[in-house]
Amino acid sequence: MGSDNVGIILADTNQIFANVTIYSTGIGSSPLWVAVGDVNNDKKLDIISANSGTNSVGVLLGHGDGTFDIVVTYSTGVGNNPRSVAVGYINNDNYLDIVTGNYYSSSLLILHGDVNGTFRLVTVFSTGYDSGPTSITLADFNSDNHLDIAVTTLSANNIGIFLGYDDGNFGPEMSYSTETNSASYSLIVADFNHDNQLDIATPIFTNDEVVIYFGYGNGSFQLARTYSTGFGSRPYDIAVADFNNDTQLEIVVGLYGSGTVAILTQYLAAKFTNQAIYSTGSAPQPYSIAIADLNNDSRSDIVIANSGTDNLHIGFGLGNGTFGSPMIYPTGVDSRRQYVITGDINNDHNLDIIIANSKHDSISMIMGYGNGSFSNKMLYSTGDGSYPSVVIISDLNNDNRSDLIIVNEGTDSIATLVEYDYAVFKTHQKYSSANNLMPTAVVTADFNNDNYLDIGATFINSGNVGILLGCGNASFGVMMTYPTGIGSFPIGLAVNDFNSDGRIDIAVADYGTDNVIILMGYGNGSFANMMYFSTGRNSGPFSVALADLNRDGCLDIAVANSGSDSVGILLGYGNGNFATIMTYPTGVGSFPVVIIISDLNKDNCSDIVVVNRDTSNIGIFLGYGNGSFANQVTYSIGRYTSPWSAVVSDVNNDDKLDIVTANYNTGTIGLFDGYGNGTFHKMKAYSTGTGSLPRYVTVGDMNNDNRLDIIVVNYGTNDVIIYFGYENGIYYEGKPYSTGNKSNPICLTIGDFNNDRRSDFAIANYMMKEIGIFLGYGSERFGGLATYDVGSGSEPHAAAIGDFNSDGKSDIVVANYGMDNVGILLGDGYTNFKNTITYSTGIGSAPCSVAVEDFNNDNHSDIVVANCKTNNLSILIGYGNGTFAIAATYSTGDRSHPTTVVTGDFNNDNLMDIVVANFGTNNVFLLYGYGNGSFGNEESYPLGYNYRPYTIAINDFNQDGWMDIIVGCYGTDDVEILMKMC
C-alpha cells in the first residue's frame, strides 16, 4: 500500500526463487482494495482499484501473460475518497460496470463499462448527508434479475438499499436502521433462513453486536436477529462458511477489540452459536492463520503466527471443529511473525510452512514430514529494512515448481523468489603473499601437466605474476612469483600455447612499461625468462586476448591500449615471437579496458570487442581473416556508466552471440542482443543492486544443467552473484556470496579445483591482496531475491495471484496502502512482469488486503480489496484482458478498519462470497455473492470488546460440508472459530 505498486517473485520446479518484479500503481494513489475481472471482454484478466489517494478508479488492462498496461484512471471527483469498489453487470450490456462508495462525499458513483474496457461516469447517488459509506455490495434483492446495491455507512446508522433498474439506474435509497451510534464497517449477504431470499448481516462495531436483516425477496428487509459479541469486542469484519458440514452457514467475525476471531454457528432461523475460542498463549498477538492438513489424516489443521511470542502455534484438527493440544514451534527471538502460509515447497507431497519475519527482514521455510513434524527452518533474507508482511505461493513460470511472492512494506517493493536448481558455494581458502600485492587478473590452467587445475594471477602493486599449483583436492601449493620488471604494472592476463610445444604459456598486459610480456612455460609449473613486446609509447595496455587472427595456424595477440585509446594487434610466428604491433583507434578519450576476440558474424573470421570505459560504449572491429580489421563501430552503454568488463556469449539461446557488460557507475549489467551479423540491439540494463559497482562479468555453467549462467563480481558490495540461466534468455538471481568486508573483488576465474565435477571459482580480492577460493558443493531450491519497486510511499500491504489477461500465466495484484490504489503486474510466464497499472481505491482508502476470485461467473478473475481507512470493500470486475471496472464499494461499517478479506462459498450456492475481519469494530463481516459480481445480505458477527480481529482463514473444520471461519484476534491473543449449526 505505501509503495504504490505490486511485486512478483517466481519459482521453478526446484522451488528456487528469482528476484521480484514491481509495477507502479501511481504516485499518491493509495489503493485500498483491488478487484480482478475482464473489463474489455478479451478473456484476459484486468485489475480495478479504488484509489482513495487520487480520488479515482484505476483500471489495469492485462495482456494475458502476467503483464499489464499502465493504469488508466477515472476520476470519482475531487475529495470523494472512494474506499470501496464493486463490479457487476449493472445495465445488462455484457460489459462490467463499476460502483464506488465515496466516503467523504457520502455517495455512490456508477461507471458504466464500454466495449473497449473504458468507462463513463453515469450518475452519482447520495447515501445521506455526512453518512460516509464504508462498504458496498451488489446483489439482486428483489428477484428482478437486476443488480441492486446495499451500502453501510459510518455515520448514518443504517444500511442503505438501492434497487436497480434495467437501464443501469437505481431507485431512491431505502434505509434500515442499525441503531444509534452503530458504526458498521462491513456487511455480508446470504440466505440465512433458507427461504431462498437474500438476507443481510452486519457487525456493529460500536455496539459489539452482529445484526441480521431477513429479506422478503422484493427489496425490503426486516430486522431479524441481533447477537452480542461481548463487551468491547468491537466486531469489525465478517465472513461465512460451513465449518461442520451440516449444510448451514457459520459466520466468522473478526473482533477488533479482543484481537480474536469468532465463529458463529447459524440455525435455520439465522441464529448462530457462540463462537469457539482457542487460546494461543500468553500475549502471543496472533497475526496470521493458515489452514492445511499437516499430518495427512484428512483433517484440517491450523497454523498461527504469533508475533508477540515469536513462535508458531500448530493445532491438529480432530475433525469435529475442535483441535488437540497445540505444538509450539519457536521461530527466533524478536522475529515478529507477520504472515504464515502453507504449501508443498519441495514437491514431496507433504505440506511445508512459510513465514514472513517482519522485524528480521526475512522469510522462513519449515519443511514438513507429513506426520505433523517439521525440519529446522531455513532463512532467506528479504533485504535490510524490507519488513516483509505477506508471502504468496504460486507457480509463476508454469514449471511445476513453487515460487514465492513477497510484499515488502518497508522498502515499497514486491519481491519474488523463484524455485530453481541454484548451485551452492562455500568459502574454502584464501591465498596471499607478502610479495604479491593488489591482484588485478586471475586465470585457471594446467601449468604443470598433472591434470589438475592451477591458478595464475597478476599483482599490480608488487609488479609480478603469481602461480598457485593445484593438488586436485581444492588445495594449492605455495605461491610462486615471477617479477615483471621495474616500473611494471601488470593488469591483463591470458594463457595459451604460443609455440605449439604442448605447454601453457602466459601473456601479460603491462600498463606500466607499455609492453605485452610473454612467459614461456616449461610444462612443470615454472616459466622461462620474460620476453617483452612493445605496445607503443604511453600506450598503457590494460587487457590482452589471444586467437589466430590471420588464420595461419599461429596464435596472435590483441591488446586494449588504454593510454593511447587503441587496439593493438601482434601477429604471432608460432615460436613465441611476434611482429611489430598494428593499432586501430578506439576514439579520443575512450580508455579501452577490456578486449575480447570472437566471431560475431559467423564468417569464420575473428572479430574484436573492446570495452571503452571513459566513453561508456563498446567497440566492434569486424575482422577480415588476414589479421586486419574494419573501423570500429560503437554501441552506447549510457553516459557515465563506466563499463569495466564484458563477456561475449549466446546468453538467450538463439544461436547468435550477445554481449554482456558490467557497468560500474550505474550498478547494472548491460545486455546487447546480437543479430548474428556483427550488429546488436540497443542495450537493456539489469540492476545488480544499490552500491554494487559491478567490476567483472563472465559466463559459465555453474549448476551443470547445460545452460549458461552469468557471474557478476561486485566491487562495491564485496560479493559475487550468479544469475542462473533458465530458458529463452531468462535468468534467476542466486544468493550473493560475500568475498569479505572491504575486499573489493575485481575479477574471477571458473574451474573444477577438486575434481568433483562441480564448478568452483577463484576470485581476485584487490584490497585484501589475496586470491579467494569458492567451492561448489551442491544445490538449493531458492536463490536471491528479485525486488521490484512499486513506488515511493506505496507501502504495499497485501498481494494476490490471478490470471488477469487470460493467457494462462500468473499475474499479481498488490494493495498499495500508501497510495490508495491497487497495482496490476502482468507476467510473461518467465517471472518477468510489465509495469504496474493502478486502479484507485479512493482517497485515504489505505487498501490493506486483497483477494482474487471470479465473482460474476464469466471465467475472468475479479478482485476484492479491503480498504482499512475508508472502512469498505472495493470490487473490481475483470474484463479478462488485464483491465478492470470498479463495480461496487461495500461498507464494512463505520470505523470498522477491515484488515483481511477472504473469499469462499459460505452458503453452498456455488457463488463466491466474501468474509472480512473488522479490526476496528471487533466483528466478522460477510457479504454473499449473487454470481453477477454484486453482493448483498450482509451479516455481522461480534467477537467481543477489544478482540481486534486481524486475520481470517476458512475451512470445513468439522467435515459437515459447510465452510467454517477461523479468526486470529490480536487483542485477546485468541483464535475464534465460527461454525454454522444448520
Domains of the chain by start residue, with CATH: 2-418+785-978 (2.130.10.10), 421-438+641-782 (2.130.10.130)
Residue 389, SS3 per DSSP: strand
Q: Region 535-554: what's the mean pLDDT?
A: 97
Least confident of 194-198, 272-276, 920-924: 272-276
- List the one residue out of 215, 346, 224, 363 whose CA is nearest residue 288: 363
Q: Region 631-657: what's the mean pLDDT?
A: 95
Q: Residues with Cβ < 8 Å from 263, sequence gap 6 or more?
A: 243, 250, 251, 252, 253, 275, 276, 964, 965, 966, 967, 976, 977, 978, 979
Q: Tell me: pLDDT of 261 over 50.
A: yes
List pLDDT tens digits, range 115-163.
888 888 878 889 888 888 888 889 999 999 999 999 988 888 889 999 9
Q: Region 385-401: what's the mean pLDDT?
A: 81
Range with top average pLDDT, 169-173, 617-621, 879-883 = 617-621
Range with top average pLDDT, 633-647, 725-739, 937-951 = 633-647
Q: How confident is the model at residue 333 (pLDDT cuts 50, 70, 90)?
A: low
Q: Tell me: pLDDT of 924 over 80.
A: yes
Q: Residues with Cβ < 8 Å from 376, sequence gap 6 or more?
A: 366
Q: Region 499-521: what's the mean pLDDT?
A: 96
- pLDDT, position 434: 63
Choose between 565 and 926: higher pLDDT: 565
Q: How confident is the model at residue 16 (pLDDT cuts 50, 70, 90)?
A: very low
Q: Region 455-468: what's the mean pLDDT?
A: 93
Q: Residues with Cβ < 8 Å from 706, sequence gap 6 or more?
A: none
Cβ-contact 916, 932 below 8 angstroms:
no
- pLDDT, position 336: 56
Q: Give 727-740 as a DSSP string.
A: STT-EEE---EE--
Q: Region 725-746: what's the mean pLDDT?
A: 87
- List the one residue out of 782, 750, 779 whose CA is nearest residue 763: 750
Choose between 692 and 784: higher pLDDT: 692
Task: Supply the pTM of this predicted model.
Answer: 0.64
Choose between 572 and 305: higher pLDDT: 572
| Rounded Cα–Cα distance for residues 892 and 203 (Å) | 8
The type of residue at 225 is R
Choose between 335 and 243: higher pLDDT: 243
The type of residue at 692 is S
Q: How confident is the model at residue 591 (pLDDT cuts 50, 70, 90)?
A: very high
Burial code (b: 16+ CB inside 10 Å, e: under 16) for 696-707 equals: bbbbbebbeeeb
Backbone angles phi, psi at 537, to 5 degrees: -60, 130
| Rounded Cα–Cα distance for residues 27 and 477 (Å) | 59
Q: Tell me: pLDDT of 971 over 80.
A: no
Strand-pairing partners, residue 214, are: 222
Q: How confident is the model at residue 273 (pLDDT cuts 50, 70, 90)?
A: very low
Q: Tell me: pLDDT of 15 over 50.
A: no
Q: Are strands 556-561 and 566-570 parallel, antiparallel or unpaired?
A: antiparallel
Angle ∠(801,948,252) on CA atoms, nearest 5: 60
- pLDDT, position 308: 62
- pLDDT, position 394: 80
Q: How confident is the model at residue 282 (pLDDT cuts 50, 70, 90)?
A: very low
Least confident of 110-119, 234-243, 370-379, 557-566: 234-243
Q: Region 892-907: what's the mean pLDDT?
A: 92
| Rounded Cα–Cα distance for residues 337 and 329 (Å) | 12
Q: Region 547-567: what's the mean pLDDT?
A: 97
Q: Give 610-627 as a DSSP string.
A: EEETTTTEEEEE-B-SSS
Neighbours of 742 (CB within 10 A): 9
Q: How confident is the model at residue 8 (pLDDT cuts 50, 70, 90)?
A: very low
Cβ-contact 191, 198 below 8 angstroms:
yes
- pLDDT, position 334: 59
Q: Are strands 174-177 and 556-561 parallel, antiparallel or unpaired?
A: unpaired
E-state strands within 803-871: 811-816, 821-825, 837-840, 847-853, 862-867
Strand-pairing partners, residue 198, are: none
Q: Tell me: pLDDT of 271 over 70.
A: no
Q: How confident is the model at residue 332 (pLDDT cuts 50, 70, 90)?
A: low
| Rounded Cα–Cα distance for residues 184 and 190 (Å) | 17
- List the one residue out of 270, 224, 116, 31 whose CA is nearest residue 838: 31
Q: Tell me: pLDDT of 652 over 70.
A: yes
The type of residue at 965 is I
| Rounded Cα–Cα distance for residues 612 and 658 (Å) | 17
Q: Region 592-618: what's the mean pLDDT?
A: 98
Q: Are strands 148-153 and 158-162 parallel, antiparallel or unpaired?
A: antiparallel
Q: How confident is the model at residue 670 (pLDDT cuts 50, 70, 90)?
A: very high
| Rounded Cα–Cα distance for residues 394 and 308 (Å) | 29
Q: How confident is the model at residue 270 (pLDDT cuts 50, 70, 90)?
A: very low
Q: Give 755-770 as a DSSP string.
A: SSSS-EEEEEETTTTE
Q: Tell me: pLDDT of 410 over 90.
A: no
Element (H, E) at 56: strand 56-60
| Rounded Cα–Cα distance for residues 420 and 732 (Å) | 8
| Rounded Cα–Cα distance for residues 687 and 315 (Å) | 43
- List the one residue out of 898, 939, 907 whose CA is nearest residue 209: 939
Cβ-contact 490, 458 below 8 angstroms:
yes
Q: Residues with Cβ < 8 Å from 796, sequence gap 6 or more?
A: 1, 2, 3, 5, 6, 7, 389, 407, 408, 409, 412, 413, 414, 790, 814, 815, 816, 817, 823
Q: Give 648-700 as a DSSP string.
A: EE-TTSSSS-EEEEEETTTTEEEEE-B-SSS-BPPPEEEE--TT--EEEEEEE
The type of residue at 390 is V
Q: Region 269-293: what's the mean pLDDT?
A: 54
Q: Region 197-204: what's the mean pLDDT?
A: 90
Q: How confident is the model at residue 274 (pLDDT cuts 50, 70, 90)?
A: very low
What distances in angstroms separate CA 520 from CA 425, 490, 867, one per listed residue?
Answer: 34, 16, 74
Q: How confident is the model at residue 263 (pLDDT cuts 50, 70, 90)?
A: confident
Q: Region 650-654: what's the mean pLDDT?
A: 90
Choose between 403 and 473: higher pLDDT: 473
